[in-house]
Chains A and B, each alone.
Chain A
Amino acid sequence: MNKIIKIFGQIVAANIHYHPQRVLSLLNAAYAVSQLVVKYFPDQKLLPHQKYAAAICNNVIRQPLKDAQDTAVVNIFLPCELLHAMDIAPQFVEGLAGYLNGAGAEKAFIDFAEHSGIPKTYCSYHKTLLGAALSGVLPKPSFVVNTTLACDANNLTFRTLADYWKIPRFTIDVPNEYNDDTVEYVAHQFRAMVAFIEDVADKKLDMERLKTAIRSENRSLSMYRAYFKELSSKFMPNNLTSEMYKLFFTHILLGTQQAEHYFKLLLYDVQNAAPSKDEIRILWAHTLPYWQPSIAKVFNFSSKYQLLSCDLNFDYLIDMDEDHPYQSMAQKLLLNTMGGCTERRAQKLLDMAISLHADGAIYFNHWGCKKTLGGAVLTKEMLEEQDIPVLMLDGDGCDRNNVNDGQMLTRLQAFLEILEGSK
């Protein structure tokens, strides 16, 4: 870890119990500095869309920390078109936890959460967010909205947050099955959610603004699908952090001008990328341990290994219907590959592996994610039956104290050596 970040993390840990406001000020200052760095001194190895992403994502995280008014804490799978149409800023678990990790501070917050009784075996992204909230560092938002997709942690974390902050909460319950009844069930909840937000935020939803957001989203998705089509025959350097940044645009920012601009740059970059040659093409399942130097060193800006995409970045790529927004949002959740059975997610991974000409897939067993962990063996079997080799890599996308670095790197390198050998 960078020495300054290490010291920063130690300062956070030393102040978290008695001076949470001081910690918040420090975090705000640190992210303000990093905003200047990514804007004026970006890493020159980054492609335009990656530079843009770094600046936008920083702002998305920073805004609710600076001013929590008109902010909602959400989970990553909540369709945020409604929030954008009502000028409500979303703050989401993986994004904030990732940024706290970037500041070297996740351990302090995880420790705080665990000392408050949160189980050690709980997802470390959620533990980090809970630690930030329960320690008093994270400012109180206006309300909490979440879906039950894709994991139990969503229900537990958001309930705890709403109880702690004593703020209103709305939960969209997402069944495992897709049919007309379940679409109507979820759509009905979205309608109720609008009433809830209008009530607690004291704002009225402007349907025209919602339609504008949906049109923007559809343009974004169209460019994104075109990007994947191009990528199937291209080599475009990637890095773990940029792939994580992509989550902002494929989820909570969808429907915004920023997302649309991002996908425009992404498509432009891939159109100008070199043709695929003899690189090893890797598809990734679940989040990425971008903070882990050994793993990042293998992939970041590599000319040998093409990190194609993580599957959270193609969990739902279908256009929305602006005339039936609530049904569309319901479909978005019910057909999301992160919900339902293992086969659904594995099948999408397999389809993408085939269409992107992947040489292999890395299935990242993020600590605490029971659904991912539980589906590991079946997914591996399913992909390998179709000759897509799979490495199951046990690690942690957020908690740097929770991994065996040497063992992970050995496994990864051995897997890549095998793929190179069979190329």
Chain B
Amino acid sequence: MTYYICKYTPVEILDGFGEKYRLYNPVAQDCARADQLIHRNVCSFSRALIETCVKNNSNPIVLTSCCDSIQRTYDVLQAEGHKVFMLYLPHNSQHCSKLVYKEQILKFIRDYAAYSGKKFSCAKFRAAFKQNSQSVVGGYIGVMGARMGEKMLEFIKNTSPLAIRNNTCTGVRNLGNPPLTDDLEELMDWYTDQLLSQTACMRMTDISSRRALVDDPNLKGIIYNTVSFCDFYGFEYAHIKRSLDVPVLKIETDYTPQVAAQLKTRLEAFFENLKVGKNKRQFRYITPKHFQQIYTAGIDSGSTSTNAVILDSQQRIVSFSVLPTGAHVLQSAEKAFDSALNKAGLSQNQISRIVTTGYGRTNIDFCEKDVTEITCHAIGAHFLNNAVRTVIDIGGQDSKVIHLDEDGKVLSFVMNDKCAAGTGRFLEMMAQSLGLTIQQMSTYGLKWEEQITISSMCSVFAQSEVVSLIAADKKLEDIVHGINQSVASKVMALGGRTGMKPEYMITGGVAKNIGVVRAVEQRLGSKVIVPEQPEICGALGAAIIASKD
């Protein structure tokens, strides 16, 4: 088996040799070996590629010089003794560029013949061309951006309410029918032209052909995939976000299984809102007067706390509970639910419906439905104050900024990645370094005198900075203020300056930290609504969904 990674690779040449080949999309459990061979800050796909090639001895592999990271991957794999073919891929598709690439392809034919001992057959080459159109009728969601692993793509296809079109860099590959000739030069002229005339990937100088991908009226939404430490696709995402009015979800993959759970949450939330878009009524709250007194519950199983809310049929909060999430999600959910039931003086059989949300939502088996925390926070915030247009949810391990319209529909949202900066965990780490309790942290920063900047966005480095500030005998109040400013800065970076519109509401446990709230207000230049119980907003949203289903 021969492996390749880029759509510009002349793989049909391998058909000409009668070889089997496969588009390589490796997911590495870890990158232990790659870490020894290449710096961590090169593109994650390259690292996963090195890791799996070295571990599985995947030989031979055909690369193109598609990006800086892949060019270095070639150097590393070569040095490790792998059989790697590398073709220089021009950045342009003009005539002289095609001649250069044609020479590369002809050289590849010679090199592969020498490597395999096989003879190239023009007839086999011509037989390799099959039309690979993605026949999608009607509205669809385009998966765009960088290459995506098969499992993730499969998940998207199975979860999406609309058809999916794979328009990622390796997804769009459609060549024509070759001329009926055995003249190698003539065939390769045609072939090079076909390869370089494909819908351009972002590394090409002229990317105007990419515009057709987003100018389609049937395109109803975009899932935009970026790769950690890849330079290319953030640029196109920014352009799409600015210029298109279809819903766009940006995700970032790193070719390890670890981020899959978080990505699934985002994807589900995105699809939920696409469904809502079809039927706005789902977001309007009805308070039927003729309802008998029935109760519904929402349980938010977060990474730090598990919260439960019980509503009556008039959507009044009957009781709620906030408990730390233990080692077992299900047990924590049961405890939080029991606690809320006890406070309300109710038994479980009086609850007509339960909806769960949060990271652990799918692991709670005593519910009717699970909904992502994005949707639940939006519904909860809209319920608490229907003037809210931006929800800033800072939880224990992650933070989100959710934009709503006047009906409470989610217009867009962003979520932090794996990093802890700007989350409750970040504040806990800093409190620990300063020897303060979380309660002290919430008010200490209000009495600051000197403006201190915590420059590192990485929580580990920021902790070192805090330790240095302590060593420099800086006042605790000033350091805490600097930390609060750092969290606020992270929130602003997450939300983007243009996307955040008043009224603002801050939810999640960190909303109880007055210093952080003030710092966020200062950055926004506006007051921020802090609900009485900010950490139950997600559970409240879930309970509301339960009440209207």
Which residues of A are interface residues toward B (Cβ below 8 A)? 17, 111, 114-119, 121-123, 148, 151-153, 155-156, 159-160, 171, 173, 175-177, 181-182, 185, 188-189, 341-343, 365, 367-368, 370-371, 373-378, 400-401, 404, 406-407
Contact = CB atoms under 8 A, between A and B. Distances in A.
Contacts of A111: 493
B372 interface: no
Contacts of B228: 121
A376 B96 CA distance: 34
Interface stretch (B124-132, B234-242, B326-334, B531-539): B234-242
Given A152-B231, A377-B37, A175 B72 contact: no
B39 A373 contact: yes
A173 B92 contact: yes
Nearest to B498: A115
A121 B41 contact: yes
Given A117-B238, A156-B232, A365-B39, A188 B96 contact: yes
A121 B238 contact: no
Interface centre among A116, A119, A368, A404 (most CB of B within 10 A): A119
B184 to A, nearest CB: 18
B238 A116 contact: yes
Nearest to A182: B100
Nearest to B103: A181
B426 to A, nearest CB: 16
A119 B205 contact: no
Interface in B211-226: 226
A53 B226 CA distance: 42
B71 A171 contact: no
Interface stretch (B62-70, B306-314, B363-371, B381-389): B62-70
B65 A176 contact: yes
Given A152-B203, A371-B72, A122 B234 contact: yes
Nearest to A173: B91
Interface in B66-102: 67-69, 71-76, 79, 88, 90-92, 96-97, 99-100
Nearest to B242: A117
A366 to B, nearest CB: 10
Contact of B205 (A173, A181, A343, A377): A173
B205 A155 contact: yes
A159 B202 CA distance: 11
A181 B98 CA distance: 12
A406 B468 contact: yes
Contacts of B43: 370
B39 A119 contact: no
B36 interface: yes
A171 B91 contact: yes
A180 B174 CA distance: 33
Contact of B69 (A115, A342, A367, A374): A374
B72 A342 contact: yes
Given A155-B205, A370-B72, A401 B456 contact: yes
Nearest to B455: A401
B497 interface: yes
Given A117-B235, A374-B72, 9 more contacts: A118-B234, A159-B205, A185-B100, A365-B41, A368-B231, A370-B69, A370-B229, A371-B68, A375-B75
B496 interface: yes
B103 A152 contact: no
A376 to B, nearest CB: 5
B251 to A, nearest CB: 14
Contact of A119 (B65, B97, B234): B234
B91 A155 contact: yes
20 contacts: A117-B234, A117-B241, A119-B234, A121-B231, A122-B234, A148-B205, A173-B90, A176-B65, A176-B88, A185-B99, A342-B75, A368-B231, A370-B41, A370-B69, A371-B71, A371-B72, A377-B76, A378-B76, A378-B79, A401-B455
Contacts, number: 136
Given A118-B234, A118-B235, A406-B464, A377 B103 contact: no
Nearest to A376: B39
Contacts of B42: 370, 373-374
A159 B207 CA distance: 10
A114 to B, nearest CB: 7
B75 A374 contact: yes
A228 B500 CA distance: 56
A148 B66 CA distance: 12
Nearest to B241: A117
A371 B72 CA distance: 6
Given A148-B91, A152-B203, A17 B234 contact: no
B407 to A, nearest CB: 28
A374 B497 contact: no
B41 A152 contact: no
B318 interface: no
Given A115-B497, A117-B238, A400-B455, A185 B96 contact: yes
Interface in B22-58: 36-39, 41-43, 46
Nearest to A366: B41
B68 A160 contact: no
A159 B239 CA distance: 12
B455 A153 contact: no
B461 interface: yes
Given A156-B231, A371-B71, A404 B88 contact: no
A376 B75 CA distance: 11
Interface in B483-536: 493, 496-497
Contacts of A175: 88, 90, 100
B493 A115 contact: yes
A171 B92 contact: yes
B98 to A, nearest CB: 11
B5 to A, nearest CB: 15
A373 B68 CA distance: 10
Interface centre among A176, A182, A189, A343 (most CB of B within 10 A): A176
B512 to A, nearest CB: 28
Nearest to A17: B497
Interface centre among B68, B92, B99, B100 (most CB of A within 10 A): B68
Contact of B41 (A17, A188, A342, A373): A373
Contacts of B234: 117-119, 122
Contacts of B203: 152, 155
Contacts of A151: 68
Complex A-B, nearest 4 residue pairs according to Cβ-Cβ distance, in ascending order: A117-B238, A374-B72, A119-B234, A370-B68
Contacts of B468: 406
B39 A377 contact: yes
Contacts of A343: 75
Contacts of B461: 404
B530 to A, nearest CB: 25
A334 to B, nearest CB: 11
A24 B468 CA distance: 35
A171 B207 CA distance: 13
Nearest to A174: B91
A153 B235 CA distance: 11
B231 A119 contact: yes
A358 to B, nearest CB: 22
